[in-house]
């Protein structure tokens, strides 16, 4: 299986810097008690690489951030990245990752999981 940076043909250092920048942005939003940040606003804050909102590359970045956080026994920070309009929720990849990472029971409703994970992220990072 390819690493994320190999998958998209970017340098490892740039990819890892993007993951780091994303974590910092999302921790900042969680500490403020924000309900979320739009995909567009999130991508505008990542400077190590260019990400298009709603792209496969962005999906992978958010998945890597969530995987990192869950491995550290913390909530999925990607819960904070959401649609700017419409349902104002994370995209479908968030819920799939939640199941894969053991944070979401496959029978649990997406709305319940979203609220639970958002509350957990805010509670963890608010000091």
For the chain (127 residues), the mean pLDDT of every run of 10, in chain order, is 89 97 96 90 97 94 97 97 92 96 97 96 88
- Mean pLDDT, the chain, integer: 94
How far the first Cα of the chain sits from its last, in Å, is 38
Instruction: Please state the φ and ψ torsions of residue 9, each to the nearest 5 degrees.
Output: 65, 40
Q: Which residues pair with 18 in a beta bridge?
A: none
Q: Give whole-number Cα distances, 102 to 44, 95, 96, 98, in Å.
A: 30, 11, 10, 6
**DSSP strand E in 1-127: where?**
37-38, 81-82
pLDDT of residue 1: 59
Percent of the chain with pLDDT over 90: 90
């Amino acid at each position: 299986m390819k690493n994320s940076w190999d998958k998209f043909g970017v340098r490892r250092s740039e990819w890892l810097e993007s993951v780091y920048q994303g974590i910092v942005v999302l921790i900042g939003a969680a500490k403020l008690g924000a309900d979320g940040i739009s995909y567009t606003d999130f991508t505008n804050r990542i400077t190590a690489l260019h990400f298009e909102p709603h792209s496969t590359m962005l999906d992978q970045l958010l998945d890597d951030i969530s995987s990192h956080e869950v491995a550290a026994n913390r909530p999925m920070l990607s819960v904070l990245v959401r649609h700017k309009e419409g349902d104002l929720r994370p995209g479908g990849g968030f819920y799939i990752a939640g199941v894969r990472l053991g944070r979401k029971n496959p029978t649990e409703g997406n709305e319940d999981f979203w609220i639970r994970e958002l509350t957990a992220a805010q509670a963890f990072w608010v000091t």
